[in-house]
Chains A and B, each alone.
Chain A
Amino acid sequence: AQSVTQLGSHVSVSEGALVLLRCNYSSSVPPYLFWYVQYPNQGLQLLLKYTSAATLVKGINGFEAEFKKSETSFHLTKPSAHMSDAAEYFCAVSNPGRRALTFGSGTRLQVQP
């Protein structure tokens, strides 16, 4: 069985500050890992994905994440927060051969002016 834990249901940062959203996973096989963002009243938009290529993955809107097998982590970072980054962020895992995604509980990011 696979699972995802997102530490911190709410994170608040100042505009221009570093964004760090934490994700730890549990998987019996090498996983595929994803970060999605959800804006109010919208579906999920893919930010980035890890599929066993480079461990540092760059995504859209300046976000990136690093896969650390030894720590079973896939934390999402952005050097400088923008007001438009305020949204809910979901980390997800799937296993090779299975398309079903297992999601974390989400982290709501608030950006203060």
Chain B
Amino acid sequence: KAGVTQTPRYLIKTRGQQVTLSCSPISGHRSVSWYQQTPGQGLQFLFEYFSETQRNKGNFPGRFSGRQFSNSRSEMNVSTLELGDSALYLCASSLAFERGRQETQYFGPGTRLLVL
């Protein structure tokens, strides 16, 4: 079974631009979560989508948004990029049952975003 895939793997943008990152979960997985990893703040939860609905959101400004499609693929968008948005953005998928039974999250390789 193919793992979680993320595109693109590397991205360079300038301040003020916007960016869209894509995540394809493992086949059959319905939940997709996004995390930001930086040297200073470590790994931080951004948001989680299940059945095309945002179920959970971390403590990030509204410039960070996401969505999930009917095939469970997910995108996240960052508008008006700032230098501090430079990070590795990780996507994780899990089977996820409606009642929130804990399922293992499987991570993709990440998209490394550099904002100049």
Q: Which residues of A contact B (CB under 8 A)?
A: 32, 34, 36, 41-46, 49, 51, 90, 92, 94, 96-106
The complex places the Cα of A107 from the Cα of B44 at a distance, in Å, of: 16
How near does chain B come to A82, taking the closest CB pair, in angstroms?
A: 22
Residues of A within 8 A of B108 (CB): 43
Contacts known (A99-B94, A100-B33, A103-B42); A49 close to B104, Cβ less than 8 A? yes
25 residue pairs A–B, Cβ–Cβ below 8 Å:
A36-B107, A42-B110, A43-B4, A43-B90, A43-B109, A45-B107, A46-B104, A46-B105, A46-B106, A92-B43, A96-B100, A97-B99, A99-B48, A99-B56, A99-B94, A99-B105, A100-B33, A100-B48, A100-B58, A101-B105, A103-B42, A103-B44, A104-B42, A106-B42, A106-B43
Q: Is B102 a contact partner of A101 (Cβ separation < 8 A)?
A: no
7 tightest Cβ-Cβ pairs between the two chains A and B: A97-B100, A43-B107, A103-B43, A44-B107, A100-B45, A43-B109, A32-B102
CB under 8 Å from chain A, chain B span 83-113: 90, 92, 94, 96, 99-100, 102-110
Q: Is B100 a contact partner of A44 (Cβ separation < 8 A)?
A: no
Known: A43-B109, A94-B102, A104-B42. 20 other contacts (CB 8 A): A41-B109, A42-B109, A42-B110, A43-B107, A43-B108, A43-B110, A44-B107, A46-B105, A90-B43, A96-B100, A98-B56, A98-B100, A99-B31, A99-B96, A99-B100, A99-B105, A100-B48, A101-B92, A101-B105, A106-B43
The complex places the Cα of A46 from the Cα of B48 at a distance, in Å, of: 19
Q: Which residues of B contact A (CB under 8 A)?
A: 4, 31, 33, 35, 42-45, 48, 55-56, 58, 90, 92, 94, 96, 99-100, 102-110
